[in-house]
Amino acid sequence: MPQAGRGPTLVAMSDLTLPILDLSRLDEGPAAAAAFRDDLRAATHDVGFFYLTGTGVSPELEARLHRAAREFFALPEADKLAIENVTSPHFRGYTRVGGERTQGEVDWREQIDIGPEREAVTDPDAPDFARLIGPNLWPDAQPELRDVVTEWHDHLSGVARKLLRAWALSLGAGETYFDEHFGEPSTLIKIVRYPGTAEPTPQQGVGAHKDSGVLTLLWVEPGKGGLQVRRDGEWVDAPPVPGAFVVNIGELLEYATDGYLIATDHRVVSPRLPDDRISVPFFFNPQLDKRLPLIELPPELAAEAAGVTQDPANPIHALYGENALKSRLRAHPDVAERWHADLLAARAAVS
Ligand SMILES: O=C(O)CCC(=O)C(=O)O
Ligand SMILES: [Fe+2]
């Protein structure tokens, strides 16, 4: 574990070193907090990925989440399919292995997607992205899943807010800059299982991608490798560190800082049979109808901002909800075709 008040510890993995930052330094007086913010800014300017300890998430809560995830995937197929995501217009519920895509290629993972628990919007004049709002699908056979996920959600939302305040200060903005622009956050928790494969060549657990939102806090089952981060054109391993989250930023925070902070490509390589791998990414994003404005960086940071080139095939929209809807329609074509064929047709017509 890193010591409060020191610089970040570095973990060597092949060529890459990912810093380990200790969030509790924010509560250890102004000097430790300032040092944490400097390390945070440096880590996300240089690599876009780091490990985070000191989050206050207890080993007991981690163990409960881990157990609940294992129990969910061990349910009979019929119980999982009873909450299959094709029954939800809001992209919630269970996705069977092979039901999701990254860059058009099938991902070899099964998962349950859980977002803010809300009623569906019935107003016909609501924007298209309001279709993402709605109830989750919870398994009747495992009522305790909802309790542990709710606790996880509340803890990790607090960690995310703390990090965003630290980023805001470290980038020369007011401490509550992001709070003001976030509103009621759009969160997404995925509980994911990557089955083992027997193929001799590495298989796509999840294909190479940058996260499309602001911030991701990733919990990985202890001892399970497979996550790789692209650094200088090479794929390097980012194995789990006990008691730490893997944290990375997404394209929206890169965009908001004109490329000063970087969103980095990553992927998961399937485990080899008989192994499998559980992970739980938590995505933290603004309210659907909010925009994430550009941060006016101080000149010394602005001079080091790489700029952001917009990909015409994948443009970043001003409103968060438009970005979220686009990602969901692409990742889950079967849900899109069943519930949102009108949107697909309208989008095909303009592109
Ligand atoms: O499962 C993992 O370790 C990473 C998953 C991921 O990158 C994602 O779902 O965006
Ligand atoms: Fe990701």
Q: Is 292 among the domain residues?
A: yes
Task: Specify the residue with its C-alpha closest to ligand 1, atom 8.
Answer: 281
To test the pocket of ligand 1, the residue of 187, 194, 218, 285 to mutate (highest count of ligand atoms within 8 Å of its CB) is 218
Nearest to 254 by CA among 217, 306, 326, 194: 306
155 with 148: CB under 8 angstroms?
A: no
Q: Is the pLDDT of residue 12 over 70?
A: no
Residue 312: which domain range? Answer: 9-350
Q: Is 2 among the domain residues?
A: no
Q: Is 1 among the domain residues?
A: no
* pLDDT over 70 percentage in the chain: 95
**pLDDT band at residue 4 under the 50/70/90 scheme:** very low
**pLDDT band at residue 263 under the 50/70/90 scheme:** very high
Instruction: Give the CATH number of the domain where residue 143 resides.
Output: 2.60.120.330
Provide the mean pLDDT of the chain: 92
pLDDT of residue 100: 84
To test the pocket of ligand 1, the residue of 203, 235, 268, 269 to mutate (highest count of ligand atoms within 8 Å of its CB) is 268
CA distance 73 to 271: 16
Which spans in 12-55 are helix H?
A: 30-46
Q: Is 4 among the domain residues?
A: no
Does residue 281 have its Cβ closer than 6 Å to ligand 1?
yes
59 with 243: CB under 8 angstroms?
A: yes
Q: Is 337 among the domain residues?
A: yes
ipTM for the complex shown: 0.99
- Tally the domains of the chain: 1
